[in-house]
């Protein structure tokens, strides 16, 4: 749909939502002037009133994937913003403008994220912006973009974040589906980051390729917590607005003051406008995993509203029908993550990561590991059997025996009797000359002659 047509949809939707529901059909019949396609589009959006109300063109940090709008940068090159010197505008999205800047105190590159100018005076947008800072500041993880500071310049709040180089997963997907190994590595790292966030009570609510960044050094980082929900945050009443529209897949669907997510990556509970928990992020990550392994999204429609309808009512095409290279076990993981009932979906990011890691282990290593375990068990069994049979066990306590000649009597004077003392130190023996007690170690001998008229024979 052309931009002019979307603006017409926007205008009619705003006007319709200002009218009580009973009067809307008559208003649309007159306003659409016989254009049934236009009327159906507006009516499909109205059908989701209270849950799919605002369409924003891009996420706050989708700055490296779609180019920069033609409007001039709000802050020119070399302008000082506190201790930061502006280098260049590097991205502009629906809820943020991001600039590369130089921290003049620490002499390092940083990224400054500002609210768009038209949101600066919007209290709900400012609250959401500060909430992003609160969400990120509670997290310290190598797979989450680091927040350095929160500042304000001429009444405009801004975030100071680490400057990262690389490309978004959305950009990487421009070349089609990824190899299974790469897809598993990226998804596993995102799981690790989500586990850290969920442990702190932070639900991202907008997991999608544009918010997953692959750094030039390799690690993956999650961006844009602008739509995050904190554990302590109440569920506010919705206030419907419509900003503008992009593609039906990339449009961010939200309620002002309560972010919902991006059309193709929302969980069913997000689409229904329900309160969400960590399992919603896991559904969105399941959509991402489906996308990176097949090259297509599991739920698609001509408009954001139809995409949401597909999420709520349609089953995804089995991934292996779209890419036969996907292992059967991976297909099961993806489909479990995409369960519409969150009670049977993956319950934690750690659970999903464990399944992915088991699949990532190369088959050769799995075989070696199983062989090593089998050999170990066999060796243990043989050892236990040998101990039971007495073949091996505790070492013998019998001392080493040494042959030593203690006496040296001639044949004509034999020794008829002899005995070793209990301590093994002495030898007592008799011969024709009497009774003798000899120390075995030294040969020292004490002799006792036989009684008179007695002979030892």
Q: Tell me the average confidence (pLDDT) per consecutive run of 10 residues in the chain, 457 residues long.
A: 65 68 81 84 65 37 42 84 93 78 95 83 78 83 91 90 91 93 95 94 90 91 78 48 45 43 85 89 97 94 83 94 95 97 96 93 58 76 74 60 73 79 83 81 81 65
Q: Is 404 exposed, middle or buried (0-12, 13-18, 19+ CB in 10 A)?
A: exposed
Q: In what order do the strands lie in the sheet with 147-153?
A: 80-81, 84-93, 96-103, 108-114, 156-162, 147-153
Q: Which residues are catalytic?
A: 206
Which pair of structure tokens corresponds to residue 365?
A: 């290593």
Q: Is 100 exposed, middle or buried (0-12, 13-18, 19+ CB in 10 A)?
A: middle
CB-based burial label for 220 (10 Å; 0-12, 13-18, 19+)? buried
Residue 102: what pLDDT?
96
The model's pLDDT over 321-365, given as tens digits with 9 standing for 90+, comes to: 999 999 999 999 999 999 999 999 999 999 999 999 998 876 555
Residue ranges covered by each domain of the chain: 3-47, 166-250+261-364, 407-457
315 DSSP 8-state letter: P
- How many Å apart are CA 356 and CA 430, to the nearest integer? 87
Query: Would you state the pLDDT for residue 65?
Result: 35
- Predicted local confidence at residue 268, as pLDDT: 93
Q: Specify the residue for token string 């034999």.
A: 414
Q: Locate 232 and state its tokens.
A: 């302590």
Residue 93 to residue 114: CA distance in whole angstroms: 10
The tokens of 71 are what? 């409007």
- The architecture (CATH level 2) of 166-250+261-364 comes to Orthogonal Bundle (1.10)
List the strands of the sheet with 252-255, edge to edge.
Answer: 54-56, 252-255, 258-262
Residue written as tokens 């019998």? 398
Phi, psi of 206 (to 5 degrees): -150, 45
pLDDT of 177 reads 95
Alpha-carbon distances of 215 from 62, 77, 162, 220, 257, rounded to whole Å: 15, 25, 12, 6, 31
pTM of the model: 0.63
C-alpha–C-alpha distance, residues 310 and 119, integer Å: 32
190 vs 205: CA distance, rounded Å:
13
User: Please, are residues 326 and 298 in contact by the beta-carbon 8 Å criterion?
Assistant: no
Residue 286 near residue 279, CB atoms below 8 Å: no
Q: What is the DSSP string of 387-405?
A: HHHTSS-SPP-PPPP----
Q: Could you please report the per-residue DSSP string of 140-159?
A: --TTBPPEEEEEEETTEEEE
Whether 81 and 101 have beta carbons less than 8 Å apart is answered as: yes
Give the containing element (helix H, strand E) for 215. strand 212-215
pLDDT, averaged across the chain: 79
Q: What is the pLDDT of residue 257?
A: 36
48, two tokens: 């989701």
- Residue 237 pLDDT: 42
Q: What is the DSSP letter of 202?
A: E
Residue 318 near residue 331, CB atoms below 8 Å: yes
Q: Note the pLDDT tens digit of each residue in 404-422.
A: 777 777 776 788 778 888 8
Instruction: Check if the beta carbon of residue 65 is closer than 8 Å to that of residue 168.
Output: yes
């Amino acid at each position: 749909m052309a931009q002019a047509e979307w603006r017409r949809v926007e205008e009619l939707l705003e006007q319709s939502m200002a009218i009580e529901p009973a009067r809307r059909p008559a208003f649309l019949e007159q306003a659409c002037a016989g254009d049934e396609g236009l009327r159906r589009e507006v009516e499909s959006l109205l059908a989701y009133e209270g849950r799919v109300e605002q369409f924003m063109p891009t996420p706050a940090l989708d700055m490296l994937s779609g180019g920069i709008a033609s409007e001039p940068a709000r802050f020119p090159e070399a302008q000082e913003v506190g201790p930061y010197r502006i280098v260049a505008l590097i991205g502009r999205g629906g809820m943020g403008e991001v600039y590369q800047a130089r921290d003049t105190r620490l002499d390092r590159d940083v990224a400054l994220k500002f609210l768009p100018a038209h949101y600066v005076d919007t209290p709900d947008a400012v609250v959401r912006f500060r909430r992003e800072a609160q969400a990120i500041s509670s997290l310290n993880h190598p797979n989450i973009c680091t927040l350095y500071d929160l500042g304000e310049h001429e009444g405009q709040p801004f975030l100071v974040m680490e400057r990262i180089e690389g490309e978004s997963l959305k950009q990487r997907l421009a070349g089609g589906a990824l190899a299974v190994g790469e897809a598993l590595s990226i998804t596993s790292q995102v799981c690790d980051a989500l586990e850290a966030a969920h442990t702190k009570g932070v639900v991202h609510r907008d997991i999608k390729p544009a918010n997953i960044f692959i750094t030039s050094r390799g690690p993956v980082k999650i961006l844009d917590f602008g739509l995050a929900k904190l554990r302590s945050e109440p569920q506010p009443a919705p206030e419907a607005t419509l900003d503008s529209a992009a593609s039906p897949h990339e449009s961010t669907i939200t309620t002002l003051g309560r972010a919902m997510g991006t059309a193709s990556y929302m969980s069913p509970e997000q689409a229904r406008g329900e309160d969400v928990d960590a399992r919603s992020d896991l559904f969105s990550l399941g959509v991402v995993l489906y996308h990176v392994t097949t090259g297509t999204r599991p739920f698609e429609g001509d408009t954001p509203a139809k995409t949401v309808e597909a999420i709520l009512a349609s089953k995804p095409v089995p991934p292996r029908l779209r890419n036969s290279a996907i292992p059967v076990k991976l297909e099961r993981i993806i489909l479990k993550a995409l369960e519409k009932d969150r009670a049977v979906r993956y319950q934690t990011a750690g659970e999903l990561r464990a399944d992915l890691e088991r699949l990532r282990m190369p088959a050769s290593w799995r075989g070696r590991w199983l062989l090593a375990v089998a050999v170990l068990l066999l060796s243990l069994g043989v050892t236990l059997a040998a101990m039971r049979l007495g073949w091996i066990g505790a070492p013998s306590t019998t001392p080493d025996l040494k042959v030593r000649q203690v006496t040296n009597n001639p044949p004509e004077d034999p020794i008829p009797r002899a005995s070793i003392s209990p301590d093994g130190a002495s030898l007592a023996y008799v011969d024709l000359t009497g009774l003798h007690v000899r120390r075995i170690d030294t040969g020292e001998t004490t002799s006792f002659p036989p009684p008179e008229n007695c002979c030892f024979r």
